Structure 1
Amino acid sequence: MKRILLLILSVGIFINAHAQFPAGGFGGGAKKPTVFGRITATILDSVTKQPIDYATVSLIAVKDNKSVNGGVTDPKGKLSLQNVAPDAYKLMIGFMGYKTKSILVTTTPAKPDQNLGTIYISSSENTLADVQVQGTKAVIENKIDRMVYNAEADGTNAGGDATDVMRKVPMLSVDVDGNVQLRGGAVRVLINGKPSGTMASSVSDALKMIPAEQIKSVEVITSPSAKYDAEGSGGIINIITKKSNAQGVSGTVNLSAGTRQNNGAFNLTAKTGRLSVNTSLGANLAYAQDSRVLFENNTRTDSVGKTNVTSIFQDGVSKWSRNGYNGSFGADYDFNAYNNLSSTIKYNNFSNGGPGSANYILNGAQFRNISSMDMGFNNFDWNVDYKHTTKKEGEEFTIAGQLSSGRNTTEFENEIIGSNFPAVNNDNTGKNKEYTVQTDYTYPFTKSTILEVGAKGIFRDISSAFSNNANQNFDYNQDVASAYGVISFKLSKKLNFKGGLRSEYTSIGFNNAQGGIQKNDYFNLFPSAIISQTLKGNATLKLSYNRRVQRPSLAYLNPFRNESDQFNIRQGEPTLDPELSDNFELGYSTFIKGSVINASVFYRRTGDVIESSIISLRENGFDKTLTTYINVGTAQTYGANVFASYNPKPKWTLMTNLGVNTYEVSNTQTGVSTGTFLNYNIFGRSAYGFGKGYNFELFGVVNSPRRTYQGKTDAMVFYGASFKKDILNKKGSIGINTLNPFTRDLHIKTVNNSVTTVGNKVSTLYQSTNVYYPLRSFGVNFSYSFGKLKFTEKKKIKNDDIKQDQQQGGGGMGGVQQ
């Protein structure tokens, strides 16, 4: 009954409200649907009469001088702009080294199609600098609540994957495995504005399966409005895939093979009339390689008149592999100009793990440990989305439903040969079912004054079953009902405002260690506000505030006792509270003679910060360690970001991404006070185009030491290079790449210290881990596109309220990923 009421609260009110405003908006009557047409032309060089392929064309409405459509010419110079509403337009044609040409064109309901025939454009060296400046501006866009990196405008992205693209995005830092951070805080990654089961299981694996050629742009939303779910202390990253209105059949093929990692992806789209269908397949395989782990653990336990000391030294090797595959099928149908229905089914599967062995020295006695661990994850997503628009530009009503079902497994065996310790083997199966319904309504009072309202209900059922101890089976239910309102308008000609309020009610129930049912319900309000000022010279200044939340996911909550290493046990904590953060930002962006500069400073205060915690246990006469999660305290973070791009020469691009932030956590109740530490990350890149489709790129990444309330992980440095050549009339590319070619392993050292007091016993723990991670790799890649892809861009479910474990998909508990 509770869920039915929440569902009614989330949807019913807004459906009824929308019913008051028929297709024409407030008080409007029925209107005739717009007859859409197309504009076609062939673009040729005025002297050579040869086709101009990849010329950029923009369709601009005469009435307000705004761009409403656009595209590029194919290798034969042909252009086709679809879904053009009857109106008067300017067709702007531009290409590097050519004069920009403008042509007036008018379409009417009686004659919606216009064939402009052959259009000649002439070259001019005098316009080269202007064209280059415009191209640079197109790479980075600064909007009121986000920074946009237009990946399709960066030719060096061909042949890579989404990980390579993300390293070039302002304000992001990406580690060696593709894990992404934004300003040192947690981030939510969306695909076309919606969550993905692939991303939920492993962001790094999911990014490796998205070819760079499929990415149109990446949005970095540091100041999400109340329209978004309130997850992510750092913000939201939204990856936009390329879209087209082309009819017919089209597709892409992407392949890469190397010494460390292999990827493949295939996409196919068919569109005829009002119906569009698409399907995709992807696979990823990382070869098993030896990762060496040196581990030292010293525990001293003092009680009344007695002291126990346990020393463990471990020198071992794990041989882990990673593989995964995914597939999807979607259909999209336009009933008419105002009503659309779409549905998508997705499935993904990941697994990683393998054997390991280690030599132990336990209090001077030598043993050998033989282990094996396998982890798997699969997820099924089904979305159904309905969208209704009206003749009033910008008015939109959507309702969407989503079913998501996931299953993850952990299996391990562990035996210490030559000791009295019993062999350990166990497995855990976790199941997650999630049902979501969402509705949104947008009404533009004017072109600059826009109201957005909506509601959403999420219903989650999580279960965790233990093979060897049914008494520890874990069931967790979480329901979230939310509603929001957002208003945006102009305060003056150059001053814009966007603000809103989101309310979320969360109901949680789970079985506790005593066998009872524990409840945890809470209500939160999440305000957001942005003021943006346009300055001279295309510069922008903005000030923003928002409040965010992060609820712990199953990886943090699951009380499954992972003993793949019997002396270093891992276990989740189901009583964790969510993190709440308040974020302030002051940002500045400008374009100076073709260069892009974006700088910002920010402050973030986060309560109930969730971190891993290592404590000492004494079992079977030996001191062991338990790694779990706790709400460690309150964090205050000050930081700054600078992104800059500069072209010393027309075909040479230099880019840097600098980020710095403080780390400080305190808790007056527990006495935790870490002091203030400085984190930084540096990304540098140099890309050069030699002409005739040849491109070369170098990049390097430096990540500073990272602090936790108990310890520190040392700095990491890695670098890479790639070379690629356009082939097959620029429809394909082939290239080679390398990562850390002069160093086989990346050395990662982590040191933790803790003090545990139980009664009159005080345990002091020192733990040191040295991982030698095989990073050096060489590879080749190939990509090919045929036709033009059609991706349906609809409003989708966006469940982005769960804090994800940074270990997911990367070795998890008790292993080292490859």
Structure 2
Amino acid sequence: MTRIIISILFLLLTSLGLAQNTVTGIVQSTESKKIDFAEIYLLDHEETLVQNTFTDEAGAFNFKEVASGNYKLQVHYFAKLTLEQSINVQNNTDLGILKIDNNSQLDEIVLEARAKLIERQVDRLVFNVENSVTALGGDALDALKNTPQLNISNESINIAGKSSVQVMINDRIIQMSGEDLMNYLKSIPASNIKKIEVITNPPAKYEASGNSGLINIVLKEAKQDAWSSTLRSSYRQATYGTFNNGVNFSYDKNKLSALVDIYQYDGKNIYTNDINYLYPTEDWQENMHNKNSYKGFGGLLTLNYKINDKNSIGLQYNGGDNDSKSDEKNQTHSYSNQELIKEYFTKSDSKGENQYHSLNLNFDHKFDTLGKKVTVDLDYWTNKGKEQSPFLSDMNNIGQQQHLITSAVNDSDRAMDNISGKVDFYMPYKFGTLEYGAKASSTNTDYNVFSEFKNVSNDQITLSQKDEFKYNESIQAVYASYSVDFSKKWMGKVGLRGEYTQTESNSVKNNQVDKNDYFKIFPTVYVQYKPNDNHNFNANFGRRIQRPGYWEMNPNRWYNNATSYGEGNPFLQPAFVYNFELNYSYSDYLHIKAYYQNMQDGYGQITVHDVEKQTQIFKRLNYYKANYLGLVISSTVKPFTWLESNNEFGLTYNESKNNTDLLAPSFSGSSSYFKSYNSLTFTADKTFLGEVNFRYSFASKIREYRATPEYYLDLGFKYLAFDKKLTIGLAFEDIFKRDFNTMSSEIQGVKQSFTQYYDTQLVRLSLSYRFGNSKINVSQRQTSNQEESGRGGS
């Protein structure tokens, strides 16, 4: 059925293609001399290049397959614009003789070279979106999909070889995650993006926390005295439907620039998990099915005022509110010698609320016109939420003829707030560039939990838990870095960051207070050798710290059902990561990254089994150290004018040693993937576009976990109408419903497996309409507490 729909859609959209025409003309000088080798540009109304060509010996030029519409024609001679005029093409058009003044053609020769599609800088990889087909009719999320070394899956963004990622706009962090971040990225037209920077080993300027990379989306400069607005709406049909709507408005006039973005979503999805525990005496098979309803709204406000040529102040607010409800069903069947001996049924109607607010105040001062500047940021964010997950469990032990019905109250709430400030100096000199600065932050968290189990038959309380957990963390940091070009071929950058951390955790019920403080140093080194424009060699090293999320240190129990609960660990320690990278690039076509990563005191979740009671406890522990050796090969090619293809292969080998008796002493294994993202242009005027995206993850073994293969195939189409102001998109994602795998491991001699599915097979229809000046952009602010807010999840 899906294939039939796609075929019909393709035929319908193809029928919308406009008539193809020719545009011809002859270029002569004012003295009627023929001008050969003049470059002719044909631009659309947004001044996007449609076609270009050169005049022949007779001064003639010819554009073929030009769609009907309005265009701008430019004549360039010796890299100088000598003629520009608007034309309307409705059929084959002969512009006749075009006269240009070439008297001053030799006064000055300016050589202009368009930036490469992909560049390797000393500390980052740069994808020049403005030179890519992905800038046509797409958004920031579409551009990220085609960026080398990035993977977009299940509404999340990942960098090859990294456990997490943070997104910045114009070097300023976006205080969003999950669905909220995805919605915001969809609000940024790809045509407004200049480039995307992938920073796999962040310099000393950035927080040392997390085995993460950074993605910096650099927007084109705003056009002054202009405004623009975009209306957007989309409908996603998976098992259930979801609506997303939004509007943004940007303004830049005189000394004031502003951006307002408001979004809203309302929808449903499903989550399933098939779990198997193979105990010594029985086979436990558990099936979870959750129907989730969620709705929310939020907004972003950015204001910037230019006091004078040297000073500017700004404000950024980001906030939102979202609610969720879940109809959860859990069925467990236990077999012994293929005979059913237990049946457990659990039903829960849970609901949650979450509110978040962040505020940034900033000041920029330029010392001179050479680029020396200082920036100051003050930040505050707060996140509050509560969750209620009552459930009813019907447990029937057929073998022992026991039947127990248990009802449970399962409530929790959290409150987190952070205040921080930072100052950054950027000081370029003839001998190199110095960067230095400092940051201080303080975070307070407060978790409360209440659980109570009752035997329904006699109304007896069988278990009760009420506790409060408080966690406070303060960090002071200083950094300095120095970068220099030794020659035209050699570049280097070194940095050092020091962070002093103080923590205090308090389990109120147990009157248990634990304090800890430590000072750590984090060096970074980058070296680049560029023998010519086509070849680029790069090596870098960095040390980082991976601090646990605040919720991971909460010792309170959170029950999934009567036989399963999770708990945090207040004694959880940070992990330390050493990263080494070697990179090689050949022009736009080939990019190779080899990396080595060493992790000490790694932490994660382990399922602890009570074999006698057949219960599971999900604990957070520091339990391993590991080495990872990886290779990523990517290539972006344009074999045809209508096709841009980004292909990538990644391979990782890992070894780990464990310091817990729950697991085998050591593990080793590998993982690999292949992806191919392809952008297609069906019409010469670039109004009908398509994409075919495919990713395959091979069977893998990472530490104690094994995973089966998984893959997805996505198809998408875009049609641009009304002078490309209206974009109509239709996408088919995970067409074959294979974007899931089975994870398996063995703990305490118990073999276990998990098969999770996140409702990824879907159809999405999207509409967006831009009006005003579509080139306007207002930059985002990198707040000083992005690290802390990212650890507040639950």
Pairing partner for 2:647 from 651, 656, 662: 656
Amino acid at match of 1:766: K
In 1, Cα distance between equivalents of 2:43 and 2:522? 54
| Kept in 2: contact 1:208–1:284 (CA 8 A) | no
State which structure, 1 or 2, has the greater radius of gyration over its C-alpha atoms: 2
Pairing partner for 2:623 from 618, 621, 632: 632
| Kept in 1: contact 2:394–2:406 (CA 8 A) | no
2:779 partner SS: coil
1:547-566 maps to which residues of 2 (within 5 A)?
A: 547-566=543-562
Cα deviation 1:727-771 (Å, max 9, x = unaligned): 111223212110123x3464432223211xxxxxxxx32222233
In 2, Cα distance between equivalents of 1:219 and 1:560? 40
Q: Do residues 320 (structure 1) and 292 (structure 2) align?
A: yes
Shift of 1:710: 3.5
Shift of 1:244: 0.9
In 2, Cα distance between equivalents of 1:523 and 1:706? 37
Q: Do residues 503 (structure 1) and 503 (structure 2) align?
A: no
State the match for 1:294 in structure 2. Answer: 274
**What 5-or-longer segments of structure 1 have no aligned partner?**
1-43, 58-74, 79-93, 106-115, 124-132, 301-308, 756-763, 813-818
Shift of 1:608: 1.1
Amino acid at match of 1:293: N
| Kept in 2: contact 1:167–1:683 (CA 8 A) | no
Q: Do residues 791 (structure 1) and 782 (structure 2) align?
A: no
Q: Do residues 452 (structure 1) and 448 (structure 2) align?
A: no
| Kept in 1: contact 2:316–2:781 (CA 8 A) | no
CA distance 1:508–1:641, change in 2 (3 Å): same
* Most deviating of 381-390 and 726-735: 726-735
| Kept in 1: contact 2:669–2:702 (CA 8 A) | no
Task: Give the TM-score normalised by the residue count of structure 2.
Answer: 0.79
Pairing partner for 2:316 from 331, 344, 355: 344
Cα deviation 1:224-276 (Å, max 9, x = unaligned): 21111112324222233454133132112222213134322211012221112
State the match for 1:605 in structure 2. Answer: 598
Amino acid at match of 2:599: T
Pairing partner for 2:729 from 718, 728, 735: 735
State the match for 1:371 in structure 2. Answer: 348
Q: Do residues 283 (structure 1) and 276 (structure 2) align?
A: no
CA distance 1:602–1:687, change in 2 (3 Å): same
Cα deviation 1:40-61 (Å, max 9, x = unaligned): xxxx99879997534479xxxx
| Kept in 2: contact 1:355–1:371 (CA 8 A) | yes
**What 5-or-longer segments of structure 2 have no aligned partner?**
1-23, 28-39, 50-68, 88-94, 99-111, 336-340, 396-402, 452-463
| Kept in 2: contact 1:159–1:781 (CA 8 A) | no
State the match for 1:750 in structure 2. Answer: 743
State the match for 1:167 in structure 2. Answer: 145
Pairing partner for 1:688 from 680, 683, 694: 680
Cα deviation 1:528-553 (Å, max 9, x = unaligned): 11111112243211111111111111
Pairing partner for 2:637 from 646, 651, 668: 646
Pairing partner for 1:262 from 223, 243, 250: 243
1:622 partner SS: coil
CA distance 1:449–1:615, change in 2 (3 Å): same
| Kept in 2: contact 1:208–1:263 (CA 8 A) | no
| Kept in 2: contact 1:259–1:287 (CA 8 A) | no
Cα deviation 1:65-100 (Å, max 9, x = unaligned): xxxxxxxxxx9879xxxxxxxxxxxxxxx98xx757
1:136-155 maps to which residues of 2 (within 5 A)?
A: 137-155=115-133
1:683 partner SS: strand
CA distance 1:187–1:328, change in 2 (3 Å): closer
RMSD: 3.3
In 2, Cα distance between equivalents of 1:613 and 1:668? 13
Amino acid at match of 1:525: I
In 2, Cα distance between equivalents of 1:360 and 1:584? 46
Pairing partner for 1:677 from 664, 669, 680: 669
State the match for 2:484 in structure 1. Answer: 489
Task: Give the TM-score normalised by the residue count of structure 1.
Answer: 0.77
Shift of 1:194: 3.2
State the match for 1:518 in structure 2. Answer: 514
2:230 partner SS: strand
Shift of 1:420: 1.6
Pairing partner for 2:227 from 249, 252, 256: 249
State the match for 1:770 in structure 2. Answer: 755
In 2, Cα distance between equivalents of 1:177 and 1:49? 39
Identical amino acids, percent of aligned pairs:
21
In 2, Cα distance between equivalents of 1:343 and 1:183? 35
* Most deviating of 541-550 and 665-674: 665-674
1:89-168 maps to which residues of 2 (within 5 A)?
A: 99=76, 102-103=79-80, 137-156=115-134, 162-168=140-146
Cα deviation 1:309-331 (Å, max 9, x = unaligned): 46532234221234332202221
CA distance 1:205–1:508, change in 2 (3 Å): farther
CA distance 1:180–1:99, change in 2 (3 Å): same
Shift of 1:796: 2.9
Amino acid at match of 2:487: S
State the match for 1:361 in structure 2. Answer: 333
| Kept in 2: contact 1:664–1:675 (CA 8 A) | yes
| Kept in 2: contact 1:455–1:484 (CA 8 A) | yes
CA distance 1:316–1:634, change in 2 (3 Å): closer
Shift of 1:780: 1.6
In 2, Cα distance between equivalents of 1:740 and 1:200? 19
Cα deviation 1:372-402 (Å, max 9, x = unaligned): 2334432101000000003331100111100
In 1, Cα distance between equivalents of 2:693 and 2:191? 19
| Kept in 2: contact 1:209–1:284 (CA 8 A) | no
2:177 partner SS: helix
Shift of 1:555: 3.3
1:399-414 maps to which residues of 2 (within 5 A)?
A: 399-414=376-391
Q: Do residues 583 (structure 1) and 579 (structure 2) align?
A: yes
Shift of 1:179: 4.3
1:7-46 maps to which residues of 2 (within 5 A)?
A: none
1:53 partner SS: coil
In 2, Cα distance between equivalents of 1:714 and 1:785? 44
> How many residue pairs end up in the alignment?
687
State the match for 1:542 in structure 2. Answer: 538
In 1, Cα distance between equivalents of 2:78 and 2:640? 25
Amino acid at match of 1:605: N
CA distance 1:313–1:100, change in 2 (3 Å): farther
| Kept in 2: contact 1:496–1:531 (CA 8 A) | yes
| Kept in 2: contact 1:45–1:52 (CA 8 A) | no
1:555 partner SS: helix
